[in-house]
Every structure is written in structure tokens, then in C-alpha cells.
Amino acid sequence: MSEKSRDIVIVGGGVMGGASAYYLTKSDPALKVTVVEKDPTYEFSSSTLSMANIRIQFSLKENIQISQYAFEVLDRFGPEMAVKGDRPDIAFRREGNLFLYDRDGRDGAETYLKTQKSLGCEVDWWDPEKIVKAFPLYNLEGLAGGTYGPKDGHLDAYAVVMGYKAKARDQGAEFLKGEVVRIMTEGRDVSGVELASGEKIPAGAVINCAGAWAAKVARTAGVELPVDPVKRQVFAIDTAVKPETALPLTILPSGLYFRTETGGLILIGWSLPDDPVGFDFNWDRDRFMELVWPALAEFVPAFDTAKLVRGWAGLYAVNTLDGNAILGQWPGLKGFYLANGFSGHGLQQAPAVGRYLAELILGLDHALDLSIFNPVRITEKRPIAETGLV
């Protein structure tokens, strides 16, 4: 790397920005890494508004491998991210994920299962009897069974974001409050960023980790990204009937999903085709009452009596080409790196993404080849298939 390019600016300090800063400064403590975050409270960041689920159950080999690495990292996150003896507690609860299928979906499920098993993942096919025995509140009528991953689970996403931030800072990264309003360029090279305050930060590399705002940030450098901010809602209910054991993240063929939250509430989400595009964070009680609750109570009849405790809305950064990560250097603009378009599965991808970007920028060998997510496929309109998107 030339001296000039050793200054790296990361736009966005959510989980992707933090993980990237951590791996960069871990690989080369002499780098000057600046993370610019417009809202250090993370009120609207997807990372802190997510369902915080981590799963091995994907269909694409690379997405499975990314999660395998996440499992490794999250298991040792506390000690690895400790700063001056202070260990983050991410409360990783491996309470399982259960993907349910009807007869039409069963063949596909068996194919993904085969891929997952060939990579050494712990996932099994459960028939309806086994599912009902484990989770007696479920109504399996019309379903062929499901794939159960006992190692999948959920965690405290805010603690992960804060863990990366604290450790990256300790390793020398600077976190700055500010809004990037322009990616600066010189010809076909990136040259830094300009903030809303007017301050300019020169850099040889800029990483776009702006989540749902990624397309807006990229556009300032003349780069068009197919990344839409799509509103997704989560509801929390207190049910009259309490399940005897924690319910795994359970995903119905319709896409409705729910799980037990720490403390015994049930969290529910459902990505629907009419979810609006835009920066709207209002959650909609009527949507729960009219659509989500009836569908949930059909599958778990005991949940027909429940108190709606709260809800929230966050944004998926949806890659409209194929729903998968856009990861790597943008063709035609040297030094402009992207970690975008993670839709509903970015939290679990942050460790592998941060490590991959650091290797790419520093010219190191890759521990895991993620070149399949190269942004070139965007310009060539070449989607890659992943059927395990929620």
C-alpha cells in the first residue's frame, strides 16, 4: 500500500463499520482508520433494530461459511474484544432455528440440508411428530416438517456493535460524529470524504458501511447501487400461555417468523412484498392486529390471547438484484469499497465481512473466499441465488 492510501475512512459505525475497523487495525495497527457515524446513539441503525438472529441455515455455500465463522467469533467475542479487562457480554443464546416447509418446499429443503451437512453444519430434518413433541403448542397441519439447527440463536446486537467499537478504538481507530455528504474523487481514484460540517478527511480508501443509506452515500461518488431502504417491523407480545421451553426462531413457509425473547416475550416479524421503501421508522399496530397476529395464532393457537407490548420498525438494506451482500471494490473507482445490501442477514455476516475487507484492502490472503459477492456482478446484472432469505 502507498503511504497516501494508508488513511482509511469508514462511512457508518454500525456492525459493518465497527467490524471492518476492528479487523483493519488488528491486521495493521499503524493504519489511520477513521469511522464516521452520523448518529452515535444508533437509534435508527439496522444493527440495533434487528432480530439479532444468527443461523447456519442458508443455501449458498459462502453464506453458510460466513455463518460458521460468525459462530466461531461470537463464541469467543467476550475475551477477544476485552478492553483493559472489560469483556462485552453479548448474551449469545443458542436456542435454535426451525425452518418449516410444506410439501412443495421439502425437496428444496433437502438440497440445502445436504449442502449444510457437507460443510459440517449441525442441522437435521425434523418430521411433524418430532416438532410437536419438542414444541407442543405448534399446529403442524399441512406442513411436511422442518430443518432444525440447534446451534443457531440470538444475541444482544447492541453489545456486539459496542464491542467492535471499543476494541477498534483500543487498537487505534478513531470514531468521529459526523455525516458524510460527499465521497471525494480525483479522476478514477477515491480521495476522501467531506462531512456536513465542511470538514474534509483525505483518504486512499473509503468503505461504504452506511447500511440502508448506502445508495445515498454511493451516489455522491457517481456510483448507483441497487440498495433500497425497506421498512421491516417487529412486534413483541406477552402471551397468556407461556411455552415450557424457549421457542427457537421458527420460520413458516409464508415467511412469518417468531422466537422467544430474553425475559419470555415473543418477538414476531414478517417481511412482506408491500413493505414500503423509504426512511420511515413508524411501526403499525393495525398491521399486527389484522395480519400478523391472526397468522401467528393459526400456527400457535395458544397465542390467540396475548398483550401487544411494543413494536418497532427498522430498515433492511435490500439489494434489489439478488438480496445478497455487495462486497469489495467498486469497478471503475479505485479505493471505493462496499459492504452493502445485506438485507435481513447482515448482523451475522459482519465478522466475515470485516475480515474479508481488511484482507482485500491490505493485500493479504483471504481466509475465506467471498469474491462471489464482488460488486462487478451488479454492473453485469448477474444475480447469485440464495433461497434462505427471510
Which of the stretches 89-97, 209-217, 276-284, 289-297 binds ligand FAD when contact is defined by CB under 6 A? 209-217
- What is the distance of C-alpha 92 from the center of its chain? 15
Q: Which of 347, 357, 361, 389 binds ligand FAD (CB under 6 A)?
A: 347
Where in 236-275 is the site for ligand FAD (CB under 6 A)?
269
Assess 184 for contact with ligand FAD (CB under 6 A): no
β-pair type (249-251, 257-260): antiparallel
Assess 17 for contact with ligand FAD (CB under 6 A): yes
Assess 179 for contact with ligand FAD (CB under 6 A): yes
Q: Smallest distance from the beta carbon of 252 to ligand FAD, in angstroms?
A: 16
Assess 36 for contact with ligand FAD (CB under 6 A): yes
C-alpha span between 123 and 109 (Å, rounded): 11
Q: Is 66 helix (H, G, I), strand (E, B) or coil?
A: helix
Q: Smallest distance from the beta carbon of 301 to ligand FAD, in angstroms?
A: 26
Q: Smallest distance from the beta carbon of 302 to ligand FAD, in angstroms?
A: 24
From residue 341, alpha-carbon distances to 20, 136, 311, 347 in Å are 16, 37, 24, 12
Q: Which is nearer to ligand FAD, 136 or 222 (CB)?
A: 222
Give me the DSSP letters along 72-138.
HHHHTHHHHT-BTTB------B---EEEEE-HHHHHHHHHHHHHHHHTT---EEE-HHHHHHH-TT-
Q: Which of 38, 167, 169, 355 binds ligand FAD (CB under 6 A)?
A: 38
Residue with cell 444475480: 383
Assess 16 for contact with ligand FAD (CB under 6 A): yes
**Residues in the site for ligand FAD, rule: CB under 6 A?**
11-17, 36-39, 42, 45-47, 49-53, 179-180, 209-213, 217, 232, 234, 269, 314-316, 342, 344-348
